[in-house]
Structure 1
Amino acid sequence: MKRVIISGGNFVNKGAEAMLYVTANECFTRFDGCVCSVQLAEGFFEIRSLEDLNRLANSSVKKMQSGGKMKKLIAMLEEYKRADLMLDISGYELCSKLGNYPTLRYLFKIALCKWTKTEAALMPQSFGPFSYDGKIKYIIRLLIRKYLKYPLVCFAREKKSAEDLKKIAPKANVQISSDLVLQNSRIFEAAKDFFQDSNIKIKNESVGLVVNRRLYEQYGHDRILSKYIVIVNTILEKKKNVYLLCHATDDLNICNEIKKEFNNEHRVVILNEVLSCFAFESLVKNFDYIVAARYHSIVHSYKECIPCVALGWAVKYQELLGLMGQSKYVLDVGDVSNIVIIETLERMDKNHKVEEETIRQNLNKVQKENCFDELERRLRKKK
């Protein structure tokens, strides 16, 4: 595997960024002399080390590559022809929740791999539901059935994802595997040469709140904002500080909005910047616990054995917390009552020290597996 395309990552969402770093590091570690081609919305960017990836993350060179749609399509075709392997690290794209176009775009990459005889693997991610609308739904389902049997392996993060994918694509090589960032215990060591810790000082007795604009899209602005206010007030009543954190650049406005509701409360602190995935994970260990609406903010917290109250509607939140022995701290925040929110926060506030040990024990179990070991086995078998 001398040339590997890494598709589905980005630097906007810190979870997608973390998956990029982990995947690139595993490629450089396992495939001697490997070159990675990072496929972003702006185009393809060649990297030969984690330092290259870090420079790309922090540079302004990620400008949209020039040319019309046909020129970009030809460039994409040439890139896939040159590659030996394509690794897709999309967190949540092959599903009907996002509409028809993202699924068709996703399937095009796999079709391109098949046409150019480039090996492909879908790294741990969520799949489904597959409830597409309109007459095109029949075509989409047919394409999923046809092309999802091509990848060497389709790693599903959740049991429900695996079941849904097997139903629509019975010949797909589906295997359940926990999140690749959660599994990986060596990325911090690999990144230590260029990673610099943030200088942000967190006060004692503090809780982090990580927001997510998708909750607004799912349940409506006013309903979710009112829930955030309940959460902040409950934490303040426990004599703690609340830090408003962003795990994606498009969540900054939400943090500002919440802070306006508490303008005169010095214990509500907004961190008005989006930290790198490394800086976020390093920072999060300073909190008693996190209230989080971003999936990978929970992953980063668990890697530091910091408990979380998860604000999520998707199965991926339920299964992640179940994996770590934390099921009682999942809140479908759009539908749950304020009383349940308050009771859950009170339970966490009393028990967060105990939960740290529970998380530590389960994390040790999770990190005994590595999806890249399985990928290597399948690549060897293919030869």
Structure 2
Amino acid sequence: MVSQQPKPTIVITGGNFVNKGAESMLMSTVDAVRTYFPGYEPVLLDLFPTVKASDKGAYPFRIVNMHVRTLYRMGFPILKLLFKKKAISDPESEIKSAINSASAVFDISGYGLSSHNQALMWSVAYLLPIYLARKKGIPVWLLPQSMGPFHFKGLKKWLFQIFAVPLLRYPKIIFVREPAGLKAVRQIRKEASELSADIVLQVPEKKTNSPVLAGPGVLVIPNQQLFRVVGKDSTLQLFENLIRQALDLRIPVRIIQHSRDDRLFCELLKSRISHELFKVEDQVLTLEDLHTAIRGSRFVVSGRYHGAIHA
């Protein structure tokens, strides 16, 4: 009996299960790989691992856990003297094998490199998978994501020129979601760069028979990251005002968590508003239940990009 050879793989970076935007991009990319590259098997390289080894079998694709700390250890081996790997991260030999044997790397980071409100650590972490792929000559595609501006200053400007620019010229193609981002990318590379809608909008939504969870009201999706950008008090007041306007019109309002990071935001809104038509979900919905909730709402108020995309 002839043993069946394993399929060649396409490694997906940037996807994870921390928030529903990243998860939906991941699922859409897996579907796209299976549709348009049927001879290849998608493999997720998860830089923000939350899925335990015992639970990986529940997913219809392979998951390799690679904590950001491990990414730095592999990108800059000298850091192994300073940082131990995280327990949830898979063995580095398995991670190297997944990368080195890949036929291509598809990045779906969503929000890529930018000088706007992005710490240096995350800028470098974004670039390291491209760096590791380039060392092995593995093709890289940056699938639809937001990029730029690149108005770095000081040390970041120097690192951008000597480290980031050569790496951003390596991908076969970069798909950018906004015209301003595409303009910024085309200023640093002559290679293929194209404007593109988010990948979630390009993959047909799967039909479901799940019951509609939300009534004919307003679905509110907070984003705790707004606390850093706009300010905590201003953000809370804005959302509270919008919610109270709907409640004054006897329109039901339901708050859901689009990300595990938004729990505090939801709890703060719950502490500020008491009304019979106001409900705050305590748990993060599954992706399917989220889609069902959005379909069953009159309209959506979203602080998250993919909350609007799903709507």
TM-score (norm 1): 0.67
- Give the alignment partner of residue 8 of structure 1, picking from 5, 14, 19: 14
Q: Which amino acid aligns with 1:203?
A: G
Distance 1:160 1:276 in 2: 33
Q: Is the 8 A contact 2:66 2:95 kept in 1?
A: no
* 1:48-87 pair list within 5 angstroms: 53=59, 69=73, 70=80, 75-87=94-106
Distance 2:68 2:232 in 1: 35
Partner of 2:32: 26
Aligned-pair CA distance for 1:135: 2.4
Distance 1:78 1:44 in 2: 21
- Give the alignment partner of residue 152 of structure 2, picking from 132, 152, 174: 132
Aligned-pair CA distance for 1:201: 3.6
Aligned-pair CA distance for 1:131: 2.5
Distance 1:40 1:100 in 2: 20
* 1:1-383 pair list within 5 angstroms: 2-41=8-47, 53=59, 69=73, 70=80, 75-96=94-115, 97-167=117-187, 169-185=188-204, 187-189=205-207, 197=210, 201-204=213-216, 206-263=217-274, 265-301=275-311
Partner of 1:374: none
Aligned-pair CA distance for 1:200: 6.5
Q: Is the 8 A contact 1:3 1:85 kept in 2?
A: yes
Q: Which amino acid aligns with 1:276?
A: T
Q: Deviations over 1:137-159 (max 9, x none)?
A: 22223323212121111000010
Aligned-pair CA distance for 1:289: 0.6
- Segments of 4+ moved more than 4 angstroms: 42-45, 54-57, 61-68, 70-75
Instruction: Kindly tell me the number of residue pairs found equivalent between the two proteins.
Output: 284
Q: Deviations over 1:299-334 (max 9, x none)?
A: 111xxxxxxxxxxxxxxxxxxxxxxxxxxxxxxxxx
Q: Which amino acid aligns with 1:154?
A: I
Distance of aligned partners of 1:280 and 1:170 in 2 relative to their CA distance in 1, 3 Å threshold? same
Distance 1:283 1:201 in 2: 5
Aligned-pair CA distance for 1:259: 1.3
Q: Is the 8 A contact 1:149 1:173 kept in 2?
A: no
Aligned-pair CA distance for 1:257: 1.0
CA RMSD of aligned residues (A): 3.0
Distance of aligned partners of 1:73 and 1:98 in 2 relative to their CA distance in 1, 3 Å threshold? farther
Specify the SS of the correspondent of 2:281: strand
Distance of aligned partners of 1:66 and 1:140 in 2 relative to their CA distance in 1, 3 Å threshold? closer
Distance of aligned partners of 1:115 and 1:215 in 2 relative to their CA distance in 1, 3 Å threshold? same
Aligned-pair CA distance for 1:39: 0.8
Distance of aligned partners of 1:151 and 1:18 in 2 relative to their CA distance in 1, 3 Å threshold? same
Distance 1:44 1:113 in 2: 24
Q: Which amino acid aligns with 1:292?
A: S
Q: Deviations over 1:326-352 (max 9, x none)?
A: xxxxxxxxxxxxxxxxxxxxxxxxxxx
Distance of aligned partners of 1:29 and 1:44 in 2 relative to their CA distance in 1, 3 Å threshold? farther
Distance 1:56 1:36 in 2: 7
Aligned-pair CA distance for 1:113: 1.4
The structure with the greater share of residues assigned to helix is 1
Q: Deviations over 1:66-103 (max 9, x none)?
A: 98944766554332211001000001031122122222
Distance 2:33 2:120 in 1: 31
Distance 2:157 2:282 in 1: 42
Aligned-pair CA distance for 1:136: 3.8
Aligned-pair CA distance for 1:43: 6.4
Q: Deviations over 1:182-232 (max 9, x none)?
A: 1211x415xx6xxx73x664333x111110001111111111111111111
Partner of 1:365: none
Q: Deviations over 1:228-251 (max 9, x none)?
A: 111111111222011111111111
Distance 1:65 1:114 in 2: 19
Q: Is the 8 A contact 2:221 2:256 kept in 1?
A: yes
Partner of 1:307: none
